[in-house]
Chains A and B, each alone.
Chain A
Amino acid sequence: MVEDRTYDLAIQTAAGVRWHNGDPFTSSDAKFSIERTYDPAAKTLVATVLTTIERIEAPDPATLVIHTKKPDPLLPARLAFYGGQIVPKKYLEQVGPDAFNAKPVGTGPVRFVSWTKDDRLVLEANKDYWGGKIDADRVIFRPVPETAPRVAAVLKGEVDAITQLPSDQWGRVNQNPTTRGAGALYAGLYVLAVNSKVKPLDNPLVKQAMSLAIDRSAIVKDLWRGRGIIPNGPIAKGDNHYDASLPPLPYDPAKAKERLKEAGYKNEPISIEVAPGYMANDKAMSEAIAAMWKDVGLNPVVEVIEYSVRAQKNRERSFKGAFWSDPTSTLRDPDGMMWRLLGPGGPQDYWRLPEWDKLGDAARFSLDEKFRGEAYKKMTEIFMVHNPWIVVIQPDEDYGLQKYVDFTPNPNQQFEVRRFNFHMRRA
């Protein structure tokens, strides 16, 4: 794919869009914002997201042209995820970054009113929003970290909606006469990532046995009360290039035992590191999977670690064996998920295979979706042999709602309130 040309992305912005402070939104705001992400002086935390960009032009107020160093098929998706948020150039330069953080200005459906840390964030509807005013005058976010009071708040009608409704409360919220649950399949997977550099996990046969020994339907049914599906590989359902024709990951303890015998497994301990609460049901799943692994003759050791220890191990890539991870499909494409995390230099780079790497690299920089599809198909086949992740479940992200609230959640955990997905049906 080496061609002597530049790669452009031209974007037309909607006409008449205004910032919350009344200034017109123009393409020079967009140019300023994107350039600012990788400007060392701005010290942003997203400096490494938009690395394929060579330069940006704003030929007129409604047009933005982005020149890239290489073809980047996912640039629009990248711009829609972190790093791509546009800030108002004039206002930001006028008041400075601290004042901007304290009183941010955007173009979206709600405008900032106030934020009391750990108490509430108050937003009000933007009447002039180009997509139409939302069906509420104010949106208030309140952090309620404990599950029981959060569920009680929706059951009692104190709040219109809650996030992170645990699967074991799904039935309760639906049985309550005034509330209901709403869910979206998570844009990502829950996996046991594996440090394939340590023995015996460097042996693909052992990892195949680990995967075959997991009774995923029991996990989905008993631990998740059916709020999730059994994945069929490393690509989440709903993503580009998800292959619906593949069967769900199989459960076959007899075959698992055979693989272990073939591998010459000698009861070496295999650690499962879990920071309870990092993801829903992680502790319970660790215990269930440890029991399933013991049944086929593996020797799992569940180790509980603290959040920040997990973050440190993640950075140092020093997990001892298997560890829980909830890869999010940031771009709704395998590039933003398995390649981002498992690719060379990625945060979960514990396993390398030149053939796999070549495919991942080619798919990243190709504009030919058919070619990309073939590449991800082959990568999936290789993945199933080596299992750098033991994929466990694709769970639902559930919300508790008052019955008068019509809300379609976004699968990527962003809480979106717009006309197309949010309505109040008050009498």
Chain B
Amino acid sequence: MHGFGAFLAYRLFRTLIALWLVSTVVFVVIRLSGDPVPLLLPPDAPVAEMERVRHDLGLDRPLAVQYAVFVGNVLRGNFGRSIHFRQPAMEVALSYLPATFELGLAAFLIAVVVAFPIGVFSAVRRNSPLDHAAMGLALIGQSAPTFFLGILFILVFSLRLDLFPTSGRGDWRYLVLPALTLGAFAMASIARITRSAVLEVQRADYIRTARAKGVGEFMVIAKHTLKNAALPILTITGLQFGTLLGGAVVTETVFSWPGMGRLAIQSIYNRDYPVVQSTVFIAAVLFIFINLVLDALYGALDPRARAARS
């Protein structure tokens, strides 16, 4: 128990360092990228007006001072006011989170439910026509640009077949096409990794032993193979989950989905520093949290990981 507490404290410390680094990098990079004031004012606003707005936003102060103010505020949970929306930035970012979760979770579920059986099946029936077809599709899923896939889906499933709405957020029918589009990449990579992980394990001695013992093929796969192939599959699945939840700029743009990815990119274009900070912060927290859960799952699945930890 003592070991686990120390482990948790250590991870928490690393989490804080990571969040601090991410925030600092974003702070510097976005300020290097340009000035929000010309984007806020009419194009013919005079210089004095620019200076006044810059002063109001605190952008005329030295970068070090701005940074100190920023860190001080964040420590108190204040991410500043959105320059564009004129509302608390974190509030703006969080208001986009439900839509992002909805899409990310749906995409993830579709990806896992489809990819996992396909990957296992392809490995077991290696080099069969079905394996080739599945891996061919996975290759397309992994390499087709998201905007192309999204627009293709709209033209085929929405405009031609009239099965789903073209864009926007509403009931479940609005969710299908964007989730499929967003999930395609994750689906493809999970299927491929699953396939190769299963193949890898099938070459192992203990599988041959199991077969020699006369264990049925189904049990060989379900019990001996999958348990041992789980680690790489879990890793890629977790990483994909983090990516899906972090917001998906292209999918959200193609389907007019009001999610955080689109907010982030628009805020970058608007030079809305506080909102960019807030969205990156949320994404970082999600990613770190998922990694933490993954670590815990590794421990549960693999005694060696538990031993290494303590």
Contacts and interface: CB of A to CB of B under 8 A. Distances in A.
A150 B158 CA distance: 12
Contacts of B33: 308
B92 A308 contact: no
Interface in B226-273: 253-256, 258, 262-263, 266, 269-271
A143 B159 contact: no
Contacts of B258: 116-119
A247 interface: no
Contacts of A40: 52
A150 B151 CA distance: 11
B34 A309 contact: yes
A345 B46 contact: yes
B169 A119 contact: yes
Interface in A48-96: 48-49, 82
A341 B96 contact: no
B60 to A, nearest CB: 15
Given A144-B167, A145-B253, A308 B39 contact: yes
Interface in A148-189: 148-150, 152-153, 155-156, 158
Interface string A331-365: 00000000011000111000000000000000000
Interface residues of A, number: 40
A120 B56 CA distance: 30
Interface residues of B, number: 48
26 contacts: A40-B52, A43-B53, A43-B56, A45-B40, A45-B53, A48-B42, A49-B42, A101-B86, A117-B258, A118-B96, A118-B256, A146-B151, A146-B253, A152-B154, A152-B158, A156-B162, A308-B39, A308-B269, A308-B270, A311-B38, A312-B34, A312-B35, A312-B38, A341-B44, A345-B46, A347-B43
Given A101-B86, A118-B263, 9 more contacts: A45-B42, A46-B42, A48-B46, A119-B256, A149-B154, A149-B167, A152-B159, A158-B165, A312-B35
Interface of B: 33-35, 37-46, 49-50, 52-53, 56, 85-87, 92, 95-96, 99, 147, 151, 154-155, 158-159, 162, 165-169, 253-256, 258, 262-263, 266, 269-271
Interface of A: 40, 43, 45-49, 82, 98, 101, 116-120, 142-146, 148-150, 152-153, 155-156, 158, 307-309, 311-312, 314-315, 340-341, 345-347
